[in-house]
Structure 1
Amino acid sequence: MGEWSAPALPAGWTTSGQPPFVARHEEVAALESAWADAVGGAGRALFVSGEPGSGKSRLVSEVCSRLRADGAAVLVGSCIQELGAPFEPFDEPLRALMPAFGTAATDGSDSESVELLERVLDRSVQDAADKSVGQERVFSAVVDVLRAATAERPMVLVLDDLHWAGPAAIRLLSRVVEETVADRLLLVGTLRNAPPDRSDALADALASLSRLSGVLRIELAPFTTDEITDYVAICAGISRDTARESADVLEELTSGNPFLLRAMWRRVVEAERRGGRRVIELPDSVGDLVRSRIATLEPAHRPVLELAAVLGQEVDLVEMIGVSAASVDVTLAAMDAAVRARLIDPPRLAGDHYRFPHAIARQAVIDTIPSTELLRTHARIAQVLESDFPAAPRRIQRLAFHYAAARALGFGDRAVTYLIRAAELAEDRYAYEDAARLFEQAAGISPDSDEQAELLLRAAAAWDLAADTARARAVYERVSDTSDPRLRLRAAMGYEDASWRPGLLGHRALELLSAGLASIPPDEHDPLYVQALGALARATAFTGAVDEAERIGNEALDLARATGDPLVLASVLRSTVTMTVRPRGVIERQERATEMLALTRPMHSEWIGAATLNVFANSYLLGDRAGLDQSERDLQEMSRQWGGHWPYWVVCIRFGRALIGGRLEEAAIACRQLQQAESVFREDSNSSANALQTYMLRRESGRIEPVRRLITGEESPTELWPPGLLALYTELGLEGPTRRMLDWQLAHIAPNASDSAEWAARLVFMTEAALWLGDAAAAERLHPLLSEYAGLNLMSGLFVAPFGPADCYLGEVESLIGTGAPLERFERALDLAERTDAPLHVARTLAATAAHLGRVDPGSREAAGYAERARAIAEPAGMVRVLRALEVGSEASALDGGGLTARECEVIALIAEGRSNRDIATRLVISEHTAANHVRNILMKIGAENRTQAAMYARERGLA
């Protein structure tokens, strides 16, 4: 964009009538300092909070008016107490910016962002949103536009009354603050932080943002007596000494609240001048003050003021005249009288509106209206707006609000109609959270049970689009009690769909789907029935019964193809490709995922992501580098366009590919990001995925040792995750605990254990334990389980823990138990690792090959060559675990019945010489800790209780 000019400041900021600005010196300094930082390219966000009437807006208007006078660009947006527009308060500042782009936005990303925001913000556009993008892309567009604008000139973005912002706007606020930390933007927000206006959603967002160094909070305190004295002296034009007496009274009456001070100072000063302090009755609250002023109005004028209060904080005189039951002359006279009574502020400029001096003053007027009269007023406003004002601002939202308020008078149907239209408008503008709440509100008003259910289904779908799958499931459950069986089945399908993505078990979804399917005829030509079968298949898989799930899924897929409907087919494919990651059927699942991609791309559906994610997972299993690269790019685009849970999967993939690529620092950054990214699943994020990812990273980089102090070796497998315990015990070299946990796990392998998404991790950790222990019996038992993965990479979850070629583990097992063809296994593993573009897997396979050759022939030159190749990969990348394996592998050779390695034979010989652990470490050029581990392993293997018995063993066997 080129040079642009900021719009004029709000009229109330710049015209006469503003109260004097006193005190707040520290707050002003903080705002000015934040602006200086922003001008220098360090974005700042400053949030001013306080009770109603504490002077938040006055402080901001004063400072921003000064900044504007010094050349700053100031954009202002605000929220209203009633039903607001989607993404309010960002909408008006963005509308002010858009004309500045025009055709000058030549950058591709900026141009795309401007075009998208024009569609989102254009009030005249009523068609559905472009479903090729999601809310995340809209958020990115807002950030793009703001950053482009601040690149031309620094900006102050004021967002007033954030406590009334909708949930979508609050999420956008977080995104803007987080992504403009290096831009010339000062964002200033005001909010009330106490009930009843406190927003918990906003409070949570600000608590999260407070971790950023550029985010500041200011809590406005009440005025002190000295500050009240200054205020009165300026307003009344009297000396501070004279004003002091009035200030004492005003401090007692107002508790230092600036709005109350503005409302009451005149009466107190006049009373002091008359010497009548003891006889004048002063109001104790804003309500009393407003009632006292209303009492000065003529009876015919009071309903006009009440109507104005119900119309809104700002009052359009044209609307007032149109809605008012009084004549034009009476209405105009009433407004003049209200201005004289200081109940409402007059227009400052031509085209401006009447405005209540503060929201609490307006609310005080509303509080004086009898409840039945308030209902009638809402009804009259809604009817006149509907019939006579087709172009009124926020017309749909206002009609929804007023008809909903008047529904007791028989306007419930109109309320539902306009709440639905408001929800659809929010949905079309990507404000999915706002849409969901409006659909739920409409459902709560509708007397028709089927309509209620339909609206709740739409609400749940909106929550799902907002990535709040827990809220979506809760709403779907509410529909499960409806009388219409097809609605119940749709709810069950929605519940299942909102369950599998966060990885929840499928038992409840299976229960709902089974009941729903039983309630409708099993019509093979019914699209709903066919799609529900597909959902049932996935729910069944997520209970662990994958064989039964595949049978149901195949049936559903055959029926879907027979319908000839690509949408039905895509739906069933989506369910069946996401059921399992087990090795059997991986090629078929890859073909289905590819077919689904071809079907969904023309639909511009988020379903593309589900297919792409599974293409990626299957590509890793198969070692298809091209598939990995393409699907990763596609998922990155999904994340950019849709947001939601897709950024989590993108980071998950980034972590895994960095790990297997040996880029451990990059993997560490991604691992930290995943801790935050898991929160996209909200209360569903109770998985141990990040814990497993952290372990995978730590063990490869040699950073497991700090965990030792937290491990006793006595942990219970029924209280903690057994595979995780076994992995830690093995990695820490705790032989006894490792053997105990391995035996426990081998005894608790369930019949269908391989159907679980975490089975690969269980299998690998058991295999690694058996190999480290030299437990041939356990390794022999695990061999057929590993054989199911022959020719594939092992992976736990969807790329949560990539373990590499199964043939490498099979080769190690066969080397230990003396069967099969280990070298052929290693060759196949090496080929797969190289095809996968996984240097970590390559290095580990080379090290395993070297260890096997060294076991067969301790002096093998071929073993040394493999070890050298592995070391050349591992050392530059810091693959500590591989390097340790090479150290052990170079020594490995079982020389006697005790199963001692070559290195352990050297150690026991030194024990026989009476050497200490320190001496052994020095002689063998290893750490003292490693020497102690060797000694402990030797004692365990030969059944010796002490070093003396070990020395005797060595001499008896000719090892010393």
Structure 2
Amino acid sequence: MLLVPRLGSGIPLVGRADELARLRAAVARAGRSEASTVLLAGDAGVGKTRLLTELSADARAQGALVLTGRCLDVREGGLPYLPFAEALAPLATTGDDVIAAAVRARPALARLLPLVAEEPAADPDLAQLSAPDVHVRPRLPADLDLGQLQLFDAVLGVLTEIAGHRTVVLVLEDLHWADGATRNLLSFLASRLRSQRLLVIGSYREEDVYRTHPLRALLVELVRLPAVERVELHPFAEAEARAFVEALAEEPLTAEQVADLVARSEGNPFFAEELLASCASGDDVPAGLAELLLARLERLAPDTRRVLRAIAVAGDAVSHAALAEVSGLGELELDESLREAVQHHVLVIERGFYQFRHALLQEAVYGDLLPGERTRMHAAYAARIRATPQGRGHEAKLAYHSMRSKDFRTALTALVQAADEAERLGAPGTALRHIEQALDIWDAVPEDGRPEGYDELRLLQEAAHYAGVSGDPERAIAFARSAVQALPPDLDGARAAMVWRRLAESLLSLDSTFDEAPGAIERAWELVADGEPSRARAWVLATRAQILRGQQRLDEAWWSAETAVSDARAAGVGGAEASALVTLGALADSATRVEEARQRLVEAVRKARAAGALHVELRALYYHALSHDDQGEIPAALGLYRQAVERAEETGLTWSSFGIGSRLRSVALRYTSGDWPEDSGERPNSSVSNTVTMIMNTAWVHLLVARGRFAEAERLVPELRSQRRSDLWIALAASSGGIELAYWQGDHEEAVRRCREGIGWLEELAPKAIGGIRVGALGIEAAAAWAAAARLRADVAAAGAAVSAGEELLAHVRDCAEHGRPRTGTLGPEGQAWLARAEAAASGLTGPADPALWAKAAEAFGYGAVYEQAICRLHHADALLAAGDTGRPTHELGEAHALAERLSAVPLGAAVRALAKRGRIALPGLAPPRETVDLLTERERSVLERVALGRTNRQVGEELFISEKTVSVHLSRAMAKLGASRRAEAVAIAYDKGLLTKAAP
């Protein structure tokens, strides 16, 4: 995908709220005649100019005069006073009489402003120089001549005089390149700021001001002055960097792209722009950025650059001893080289080790190495690692340097050992990368050089396992399939069965591949069915029971699970026993034997933990939580889901299937129960697959819509739609989230269309899925709203289409409720509540809804689903008002409004307030609605009520026992009073003004 970045200054300022606030405060103080100097420090590319541009625009908007000048990197012999000359240049050509007079009165400015005529001046009386309070200012250099002092006084004088009429902001950028004359003039100004309406801002690159840099001494002096403030601009935090990258790209980025750009740029906006512009990935640094980074290093001594190349090859923090060995420099030369690199802010020292200040510097230096240099240095590091005592990460480092130095024999053994270590440390993603590298070089290593006990088949199986538990189910399936294809015909049956079992287990991770799992597990079962109890037979039986339960072959699943328990106990395989116990617990839940189910699940957790079967332990915790979830026992379910999430994080299985499932349901229950998370910031890391990312996003789409963050939801819903065939959760969220988004935006016809589309997706994945009840209920609500709006417009065709769609959706909902297969065998509280909501919404398809049905729906959500209950209260109040009840709606709207306010549920709150206004109901905490002047007579209102139902003039006359002509007269008068030109417009205005609160009978 081609990503076209926007220039950073072309997008709104991201982050920097604190720094901008401090600068604005300095401008405000200057406006109160409190002059000061601000020194803005930050790395190259961190956004100093962008921040100052924003500040300058603010200051100009407040009437300040902003003068900006920049220093240039002209090194020795540069132009003196360059930034002051650039900043003050507009003064020489201004049309402002005050400024022109101030400039003319100071001929010494001709040294800076060529258009100003310089006149010979008498010896100045130094006592007349501005602000002679010398004891509190930095000492001026002894080589200043009287001409310079005249110029300095002229600059201060002209700025002071102008500041007497308006605030002046003088901005001097890139002071690290300032010449000596510029530094002296800045020192002079900063020391003489008192009560002028003047602010001086100087920016500089902190990393360029090394210990002996000429600006450093001036900064030390300036910061001692009371009127000088230092503001440090740090790199973006992760959230700010992500927002910057997403705003910068013209086209949407994947989560992996964003994470990669954020990680590599390390919060530096300029680096992010350059990386995005080049679409760089891996070890490549954009050519322009690399040249810029390397240019700084060209000024360093040759030995220093040699040391930097050695550190770049290390790829990590390096000890002094390692550098001495690899660089080949003597101790004195090495010390001087390191000292220079540290003083120039190229290297930093962390815990006694040396590393680059920014990772992109390391990448640039590494990319500039000759191939032979790289190979030799990597080989030197590998030799040193082999000779040193082993420690944490030893094998991974050895594998890295051996791979880069083409020593594949050493690398292969190191890689498989590094993968084992990574798994023990709870880093399955890292283990997967090591195994993948081992597979890449397997054929390049002769058989006698391969690690003992390993073959390609074992590597493929391990890769499938690591991919599955690190959040990449598609790759897990691909590796497992490759392992099956690599099975030799003479392989031991038990081992072959475990290969097929791994494939079956991998296929379970995605709904789109579940149908392939039964075939794979049956092939495994054929290989061990006639054997004695063994590790392989126990695991195959346990996985087979899990798959058979998913197929609803419950009797066979029960037999397989019990047999697995028996075999596992005989063979001493605690993990397989625990897995079978989980399935037995789930089967007991399906048979409504809830207590038995939970006892088995608790036992499964205990046995899995004892056996070190972490994946099984998470599965047991998940199903235990699900048992409470299905019964609407939200607090207990949430506690168990959180326990599972914490355990997954502890063991490195955060993005395994049950780690994801537990996290997903935890967020979903918080949404349901009204304990809404503050932000959707918990994103999967860049190593997980796009499918896993979308699965996690299903937990957030409803929160985004409910909070009124429609722009974010509009970006997320299409992403979910694109992955809808991968997983049932994604299909459900893409459809229900899309329906809710369109509904709250007032596009009810589009909401119905999305509902029909979503039902089609669900039918493809799981016909008569219970989730279809929720999707259908949301669609029926939209159809009822669509029909009501059409009736207001007297659009008979649209109203008919809406009613027809709603009735069709109701039939589907009832079909799902009757023939769907709830996990526990019966429809739980959540399903019952959504069914009641569908019936209540359907009662409003052809006219006012039934208040009793909406009351029943609100009560059904009383198991703890407070947000959905509040929406039902809103509909209940609407139905009561339509029925002429003006008492009970007050309570319902009050409850709904209180919850909307607590949760910041913007769309719900707006809908509640609109209905309260129409019904003239005072809500707690809000001013009572203003009394609406009743413009209509009783007869005019009666006519409009019937017109709202789509009646013709003749039909209205027949119902009211008046002539058609009289109806026309009443209608014309009502339209004139309401300022409407059409019948439908008059009805809409009357509803909006609260003049119509119920439909005609």
**TM-score of the pair, normalised by structure 2:** 0.47
**TM-score of the pair, normalised by structure 1:** 0.48
